[in-house]
Amino acid sequence: MSSSSYEPQNKVAKWVEDRLPVLGLLHGTVGAGYQAPRNLNYWWNFGSLAGFMLVVQIVTGIILVMHYTPHVDMAFRSVEHIMRDVNYGHILRYIHANGASMFFIVVYIHILRGMYFGSYKAPREVLWFLGLVIYLLMMATGFMGYVLPWGQMSFWGASVITNLFGAFDFYEGMGDSILQLLWGGYSVDNPTLQRFFSLHYLMPFVIVGVVILHIWALHIPGSNNPLGIDAKGPADKIPFHPYYSAKDAFGLAFFILFFAAFVFFMPNILGHPDNYIEANPMVTPPHIVPEWYYLPFYTILKAIPHKLLGVIAMFASILILFVLPWLDGSKVRSAKFRPMTAFFFWLFLVNGIFLGYLGTKLPSDIVFHVGEMGVDALTLGQIGTVFYFAYFVVIVPLVSRTEKTKPVPTSIAEAVLGSKKKG
């Protein structure tokens, strides 16, 4: 179950370990002696890919900071200085900017994999919580990072998103106080840029801390697996190295190919063109949109025509994931054996993508026509929002408790080797 305890073979390592057991900690965290279920599929690669992206973002970010100036008069120009004058600065910036998108792609797949295979269920609830905390920290970090180039979308995105917190106006002046604290003044301005810069540098290291806890919490029950059943005997498990280190290495190389295609051949496709215009508080862009990874939540916000309720719905749409382990009452973890759950899971995914698509539209935009009647983005966003919450509050609790599940194999080894013989 737990990883084998570390026993240093070499004299120097033993000397160090006797005085400060840091090598043992590393051994446990990295998972050198970690035993994993033998049947993990490629969806299980995304955890290590997320770890890789965190390192890429921190390394490129630290170098970018050496050339960046967090001041409203100089930030935009200093980013262009990186793009034009710094050796390989354009590559570094494109890696960092596209890296944020890649990090979110990987993490979304990682979260959805957890949802499909029931990785959030007992005994992995704390592991799931820590993952959600990482995701929330990433959202904050990504948002503040997007403000730093001080383009038009940086500025106006920052204005729209920070203004949301003004909705928490529970007593006279509370909303304004929150906003003044966020802005460091009375509008998005230099103090805002500087505090966002400071926090954007801090947060990734907080994420590193929570990632260590996340991996620690993983190594206690061990990885879930596509069958969702507990690994029992030694036949069910294999050492992480060399099996999963080899699989992760292949997956990582393939992922880097995908990543590099964006960085080198379409570096601006995921960004907004208006961010190549310097921030101008006097000119509002016709259409303010956040980065793609926030779009579904932006649609949920816009779907509710009441500011406070909209903000609450937006936060609730993420926070509701924390109670998922209890909303799901099924005895079986993996959706492989829960056809109804699987069906609704895919519907949930398509709905999420659709909400993201609607996020790029103005509420009044007509998305399609039914006969003579045009259906606008607001109506569709409201339908999508209702489904989003209904999935958690109605569908998952009911389906998980009533669904007749398919027979679950008794052991991983039997399922894996048995099917091999048949095939």
Partner 1 sequence: MLKNIKKIGLAALAVSGIIMGGISVASAAGDSAYPLKKNEWPHAGPFGKFDKAALQRGLQVYKEVCSSCHSLDMVAFRELSALGYNKEEIKAFAAEYDYADGFDDEGEEKTRPGKAFDYFPAPFASEQEARDSNNGAFPPDFSLLAKAREHLSIFTPWASVYGEDYIVGILTTYHEEAPEGVEMVEGASFNEAFSGNQIAMAPPLSDDMVEYADGTPATTQQMAHDVATFMYWAAEPKMEERKEIGFKVMTFMLVLTILLYFVNKSVWAKLKRGDED
Site for partner 1 contains 267 (CB under 8 A): yes
Residues identified as active-site: 219, 223, 247-248, 291
How far apart are the C-alpha atoms of 136 and 319, rounded to whole Å?
Answer: 9
Site for partner 1 contains 15 (CB under 8 A): no
* Residue with token string 């995701």: 135
- φ, ψ for residue 61 (rounded to 5)? -65, -45
Site for partner 1 contains 84 (CB under 8 A): yes
How far apart are the C-alpha atoms of 417 and 233, rounded to whole Å?
Answer: 14
Q: How many residues would you count in the chain?
A: 423
One of 32, 58, 206, 367 touching partner 1 (CB under 8 A): 367
Smallest gap from Cβ 285 to partner 1, in A, equals 11
Site for partner 1 contains 374 (CB under 8 A): no
One of 236, 274, 328, 403 touching partner 1 (CB under 8 A): 274
Site for partner 1 contains 307 (CB under 8 A): no
Site for partner 1 contains 140 (CB under 8 A): no
Site for partner 1 contains 90 (CB under 8 A): yes
Site for partner 1 contains 419 (CB under 8 A): yes
Site for partner 1 contains 256 (CB under 8 A): yes
Q: Look up residue 421 and give its two tokens.
A: 């013989």
How far apart are the C-alpha atoms of 297 and 316, rounded to whole Å?
Answer: 10
Smallest gap from Cβ 144 to partner 1, in A, equals 23
66 vs 246, beta carbon nearer partner 1: 246
Site for partner 1 contains 80 (CB under 8 A): yes
The H-assigned helical ranges of 220-282 are 245-260
How far apart are the C-alpha atoms of 303 and 385, rounded to whole Å?
Answer: 7
Smallest gap from Cβ 237 to partner 1, in A, equals 11
41 vs 177, beta carbon nearer partner 1: 41
State the Cα angle at 246 between 244 and 248, rounded to 5°.
65
How far apart are the C-alpha atoms of 248 and 130, rounded to whole Å?
Answer: 22
One of 22, 261, 319, 386 touching partner 1 (CB under 8 A): 261
Site for partner 1 contains 366 (CB under 8 A): yes
One of 22, 174, 260, 394 touching partner 1 (CB under 8 A): 260
Helix axes of 190-219 and 22-30: crossing angle, nearest 10 degrees: 90
One of 94, 104, 135, 240 touching partner 1 (CB under 8 A): 94
CA proximity to 2, closest of 39, 46, 34, 25: 34
Let me know: does 413 contact 236? Beta carbons within 8 Å.
yes
Smallest gap from Cβ 121 to partner 1, in A, equals 18
177 vs 268, beta carbon nearer partner 1: 268
One of 357, 387, 388, 392 touching partner 1 (CB under 8 A): 357
**Size of interface with partner 1, in residues (CB under 8 A):** 56
Query: With CB under 8 A as the contact rule, which of the stretches 16-24, 137-145, 207-215, 249-257 interacts with partner 1?
Result: 249-257
Site for partner 1 contains 362 (CB under 8 A): no
State the Cα angle at 358 between 316 and 153, rounded to 5°.
85
One of 74, 212, 350, 398 touching partner 1 (CB under 8 A): 350
Query: With CB under 8 A as the contact rule, which of the stretches 5-13, 55-63, 305-313, 350-358 interacts with partner 1?
Result: 350-358
Smallest gap from Cβ 326 to partner 1, in A, equals 25
Q: How far apart are the first and last CA of the chain?
A: 30
How far apart are the C-alpha atoms of 236 and 39, rounded to whole Å?
Answer: 8
Please return the burial class of 139, using the count of CB atoms within 10 Å of its CB with bins 0-12, 13-18 and 19+.
middle
How far apart are the C-alpha atoms of 249 and 231, rounded to whole Å?
Answer: 24
Contacts 24+ apart (CB under 8 A), 413-422: 413/38, 413/233, 413/235, 413/236, 415/39, 415/227, 416/38, 416/39
- φ, ψ for residue 121 (rounded to 5)? -75, 160
Site for partner 1 contains 293 (CB under 8 A): no
Query: With CB under 8 A as the contact rule, which of the stretches 56-64, 273-281, 294-302, 325-333 interacts with partner 1?
Result: 273-281
Site for partner 1 contains 417 (CB under 8 A): yes
Site for partner 1 contains 185 (CB under 8 A): no
Percentage helix, strand, coil, to 5, in the chain?
Answer: 70, 5, 30
Which residues here bind partner 1, judged by CB under 8 A? 38, 41, 77, 80, 83-84, 88, 90-91, 94, 116, 226, 234-235, 238, 242-243, 246-247, 249-250, 253-254, 256-257, 260-261, 263-270, 273-274, 276-277, 286, 336, 342, 346, 349-350, 353-354, 357, 365-368, 416-417, 419-420
